[in-house]
Structure 1
Amino acid sequence: MAPGLPTALDRPHFIGIGGAGMSGIAKILAQRGAKVAGSDAKDSATAEALRALGATVHIGHAAEHLADDASCVVVSSAIREDNPELLRAAELGIPVVHRSDALAALMEGLRPIAVAGTHGKTTTTSMLAVSLTELGLNPSYAIGGDLDAPGSNALHGEGDIFVAEADESDRSFHKYAPEVAIILNVELDHHANYASMEEIHESFETFVGRIVPGGTLVISADHAGARELTRRLDGSVRTVTYGESADADVRVLSVVPQGLKSEVTVELDGAPLTFTVSVPGRHYAHNAVAALAAGVALGIPAAELAPALAAYTGVKRRLQLKGEAAGVQVVDSYAHHPTEMTADLEAMRAAAGDSRILVVFQPHLFSRTRELGTEMGQALALADAAVVLDIYPAREDPIPGVTSELIIDAARAAGADVTPVLDKAEVPSVVAGMTGPGDLVLTMGAGDVTDLGPRILDRLSKQPKQSSRG
């Protein structure tokens, strides 16, 4: 039976309640009986889902939105110090709690699985949530994206397992104490918070040190950064490696594409095991193997968990098919780091066969573009053509000299066919002029580029039937 509600969180107020991480915690608290309130910059389907759970959601940020009797104010690292609700909390003496502390409190008394890594966290967390639910284990989960199946990023379950996405971007994953930790990969990212790979490795070492006594680390045997992290560990934590490397404890023997699915065969405890992954791409197959290894570490029989993993059909924004019009399919991708971009483009190439692929890419963060713009451009060269938008700033202020031109120049140097489009409103028409029947359009990025999918489909639906590429 899952534990009850932490007293300090019985009347929480969330600043930025509509965010992926924040809304998940708010949903679980509401489901546990808390009087949840909060604010967000704009209304959304997430805000409506929270209201349906009984939460009070204000649109816009204002001091009067914070109730005097709030037990705490929950914030993420994106909330600025001059936020009026945060200033009001200081005046009233209301405690301020980081979202990672709130999530850690929700996991107390349960058996947490924390999924970390530079890429693939949302997918792997989702695979575990769906497969454990399929097995009737009723897990709680908090994910950085909405599942296709349950249609939510979080749920309070009655079982004793809690699956959580563990974010390294601001070191908040140091707050968790998992029974099983997954590390999918270790790369330099989040350049505003990490200056070097050494800092990244130190941060992940701290996370590993938080695994409870008798717990297990599941970590990639293939990824160079993960192998280096494993080498640096002192051996005090039970470690299970997975991947295609010959020395992997759970060895991937084959990944066979089958349209938009894959058939995966692994060697586990000396015996082969074959199962289906219902999303395309080798990297998603590896995520499923990580989820399998983590479930086995919790004591779930592999023969039961493996087929249950096939119930996972995707997460919104992770190679999500948005629709088809005029013979053109539109797929949405959250990829915003070069490694993710490359993986998703390779997956779509394998699934699409001879189809022509056009990417609409929106860079995310000035700091990431400054450090990785060249690699982003090189990744775009894997598509047949690319449209590149302005940088989505998110929480950052502009950096002089850092623009999308860094990516465009690198892409062209790599041989890519690139069209800059600075006005998002023009994208649907530009894409319609560049595509024809049989083509595939991939909207890509962590910002609001996802909004363009329906608009592109609407524009394509108005194309003449014998559309030709421009």
Structure 2
Amino acid sequence: MAPGLPTAMDRPHFIGIGGAGMSGIAKILAQRGARVAGSDSRESATAESLRALGATVHIGHAAGHLADDATCVVVSSAIRADNPELVRAAELGVPVVHRSDALASLMGGLRAIAVAGTHGKTTTTSMLAVALTELGLDPSYAIGGDLEGPGTNARHGAGDIFVAEADESDRSFQKYDPEVAIVLNVELDHHANYASMDEIYDSFETFVGKVVPGGTLVISADQPGAVELTSRLRDLSTLKIVTYGDSPSADVRVHKVTPRGLTSEVTVLLDGRYLTFTVSVPGSHYAHNAVAALAAGVALGIPAHNLASALGKYTGVKRRLQLKGEENGVQVIDSYAHHPTEMTADLEAMRGATASDSSSGRLLVVFQPHLFSRTQELATEMGQALALADASLVLDIYPAREDPIPGVTSTLITDAARRAGADVTPVADKATVPDVIAGMAKPGDLVLTMGAGDVTDLGPAILARLSN
């Protein structure tokens, strides 16, 4: 049986309750019987889903939103110290709990799988959640995106397994004690918190060091950062290390990935036997995510052939190459990619999808950079990635939690893209994008909206304009 409410979490108040990570924790607490309340900056479908679970959700931030009988205030690293609800919590003496601590408390007493890596966490966590549910194991899960089928990012299950994303961005993943840890890749990102790769490696080493004695690390055998991390971990005698990937030395070897339109067929070699299954999203990187999920499930003692079949039931997660629709022969797909590695992987996947469909259509991209700090450090690489598209529109930077940095604009990206030979056009007014795309797109083309900000909102508007 899954445990009940953690101590002092029976009347939590979430600041920023609509966020991907925060809302998942709030949903699980509500399903466990907590009286959940919180606030967010704007109305959303997530806010409505929380209200349907009995939560009180305020729009906007004000001191009066915090109830006098709240037992704790849950925050993420994005919440500023001058937030009026946080200030009010200090006045009332209400304990403040970081999101990661709240999630760690929910995992207590369960067999936890923590999925880490610079890219691919949401997809891999989702694949595991779907497969374990399909096998009747009724897991709990907290994901950074909404599953296509259930339409939610979190669930309290009656089983003894908890699957969660482990966020490295603010080092909060160091607070978990998983039975199985997955490390998909290790790259330099989140430049406001990490100054070098050495700091990244140190952070991941601490995360892996929290795996319970006798537990398992599932880690890529191909990605250079993951390989380097593995070389630093071999002296951990209480840890079993399972590698996966294309490398001939991988414990779970990816034998073949065959593109089939917007899906892939994956064959792996495990314990001397071949297993073949289907992944519902295109691209080799998503196939490798599925293999990591397979290896993690096997580490928990689940038969590999059962897992392989159950992984075929995964139908996707919102914003991870999500097909938003098709109008007049033009498909519109949404991608959360915002780091150059992710951008390149998704663009290559879309190239492979059009090739396997024998399509002569073009790949048109609408890209919205995410964060000034990331653009400052990686603008050149983002521009080079956009050279994989036939044509791209580049929007202004989505700031999220950051203040502007002088001289850092999306022009850095468009200039780099042009140097790389890309056909790229800056667009200052996001509202004009549907008209611009409608003037460019022809039957057979793919339109990819890409970025971690509100560029996702353009998909329906583009489809509506294409229908006219």
What is the TM-score normalised by the length of structure 2?
0.98
Instruction: Tell me, yes or no, if structure 1 residue 202 matches structure 2 residue 208.
Output: no
- Secondary structure of the structure 1 residue equivalent to 2:266: strand
Q: Name the residue aligned to 1:182.
A: 182
Q: Name the residue aligned to 2:13.
A: 13
8 Å contact from structure 2 (residues 120, 184) kept in 1: yes
**Mean alpha-carbon deviation: is it higher for 424-433 or for 105-114?**
424-433
Deviation at 1:260, TM superposition (A): 1.4
What are the within-5 Å matches in structure 2 for residues 203-242 of structure 1? 203-233=203-233, 234-236=235-237, 237-242=239-244
Task: Write the deviation string for residues 422-461 of structure 1: whole angstroms up to 9, x where unpaired.
Answer: 1011111111111111111000000000001111111111
Deviation at 1:7, TM superposition (A): 2.5
Q: Name the residue aligned to 2:363.
A: 357
Q: Name the residue aligned to 2:295.
A: 293
Paired with 2:106 and 2:96, the residues of 1 have a C-alpha distance of: 16
Q: Name the residue aligned to 2:378.
A: 372
Deviation at 1:273, TM superposition (A): 1.3
Match of residue 383, structure 1, among 380, 386, 389: 389
Instruction: Tell me, yes or no, if structure 1 residue 442 matches structure 2 residue 448.
Output: yes
Gaps of 5+ in 2: none
Q: Name the residue aligned to 1:128.
A: 128
Instruction: Tell me, yes or no, if structure 1 residue 411 matches structure 2 residue 411.
Output: no
What are the within-5 Å matches in structure 2 for residues 19-418 of structure 1? 19-233=19-233, 234-236=235-237, 237-353=239-355, 354-418=360-424
Task: Write the deviation string for residues 298-342 of structure 1: whole angstroms up to 9, x where unpaired.
Answer: 000001010100111110000001111122110000000000000
8 Å contact from structure 2 (residues 361, 443) kept in 1: no
- Secondary structure of the structure 2 residue equivalent to 1:191: coil
Task: Write the deviation string for residues 266-318 of structure 1: whole angstroms up to 9, x where unpaired.
Answer: 11011111111121110000000000000000000001010100111110000
Deviation at 1:121, TM superposition (A): 0.1
Paired with 1:194 and 1:119, the residues of 2 have a C-alpha distance of: 16
Paired with 1:460 and 1:37, the residues of 2 have a C-alpha distance of: 41
Q: Which amino acid in 2 is paired with 1:296? A: V
Paired with 2:275 and 2:58, the residues of 1 have a C-alpha distance of: 50
Paired with 2:264 and 2:19, the residues of 1 have a C-alpha distance of: 32
Task: Write the deviation string for residues 141-171 of structure 1: whole angstroms up to 9, x where unpaired.
Answer: 0000000011100000000000000000000
Q: Which amino acid in 1 is paired with 2:399? A: P
Paired with 1:151 and 1:433, the residues of 2 have a C-alpha distance of: 33
Q: Which amino acid in 1 is paired with 2:289? A: N
Paired with 1:326 and 1:422, the residues of 2 have a C-alpha distance of: 27
Q: Which amino acid in 1 is paired with 2:198? A: E
Q: Which amino acid in 2 is paired with 1:456? A: I
- Secondary structure of the structure 2 residue equivalent to 1:352: helix
Q: Name the residue aligned to 1:468.
A: none
Q: Would you identify which runs of 4 or more consecutive aligned residues in structure 1 move more than 6 Å?
A: none
- Secondary structure of the structure 2 residue equivalent to 1:311: coil
Q: Which amino acid in 1 is paired with 2:70? A: A
- Secondary structure of the structure 1 residue equivalent to 2:57: strand
8 Å contact from structure 2 (residues 278, 312) kept in 1: yes
Paired with 1:459 and 1:412, the residues of 2 have a C-alpha distance of: 28
- Secondary structure of the structure 1 residue equivalent to 2:312: helix
Task: Write the deviation string for residues 9-50 of structure 1: whole angstroms up to 9, x where unpaired.
Answer: 000000000000000000000000000000000010000000
8 Å contact from structure 2 (residues 321, 346) kept in 1: yes
Q: Which amino acid in 2 is paired with 1:121? A: K
- Secondary structure of the structure 2 residue equivalent to 1:274: strand
Task: Write the deviation string for residues 339-394 of structure 1: whole angstroms up to 9, x where unpaired.
Answer: 00000001111111232000000000000000000000000000000000000000
Task: Write the deviation string for residues 41-95 of structure 1: whole angstroms up to 9, x where unpaired.
Answer: 0010000000000000000000000000000000000000000000000000000
**Mean alpha-carbon deviation: is it higher for 317-326 or for 223-232?**
317-326
Paired with 1:93 and 1:273, the residues of 2 have a C-alpha distance of: 56
Paired with 1:250 and 1:329, the residues of 2 have a C-alpha distance of: 35
Gaps of 5+ in 1: 463-470
8 Å contact from structure 2 (residues 24, 142) kept in 1: yes
- Secondary structure of the structure 2 residue equivalent to 1:7: coil
Deviation at 1:235, TM superposition (A): 3.1
8 Å contact from structure 2 (residues 369, 410) kept in 1: yes
What is the TM-score normalised by the length of structure 1?
0.98
Paired with 1:348 and 1:437, the residues of 2 have a C-alpha distance of: 16
Paired with 1:330 and 1:303, the residues of 2 have a C-alpha distance of: 34
**Mean alpha-carbon deviation: is it higher for 30-39 or for 253-262?**
253-262
Paired with 1:339 and 1:347, the residues of 2 have a C-alpha distance of: 12
Paired with 2:314 and 2:416, the residues of 1 have a C-alpha distance of: 36
Q: Which amino acid in 2 is paired with 1:398? A: P
8 Å contact from structure 2 (residues 254, 269) kept in 1: yes
Task: Write the deviation string for residues 383-417 of structure 1: whole angstroms up to 9, x where unpaired.
Answer: 00000000000000000010001100010011100
Paired with 1:268 and 1:282, the residues of 2 have a C-alpha distance of: 18
**Mean alpha-carbon deviation: is it higher for 229-238 or for 213-222?**
229-238
Paired with 1:201 and 1:415, the residues of 2 have a C-alpha distance of: 34
Q: Name the residue aligned to 2:438.
A: 432
8 Å contact from structure 2 (residues 338, 369) kept in 1: yes
Q: How many residue pairs end up in the alignment?
A: 462
Paired with 1:147 and 1:321, the residues of 2 have a C-alpha distance of: 13
Paired with 1:351 and 1:7, the residues of 2 have a C-alpha distance of: 49
- Secondary structure of the structure 2 residue equivalent to 1:300: coil
**Mean alpha-carbon deviation: is it higher for 199-208 or for 272-281?**
272-281
Paired with 1:151 and 1:73, the residues of 2 have a C-alpha distance of: 27
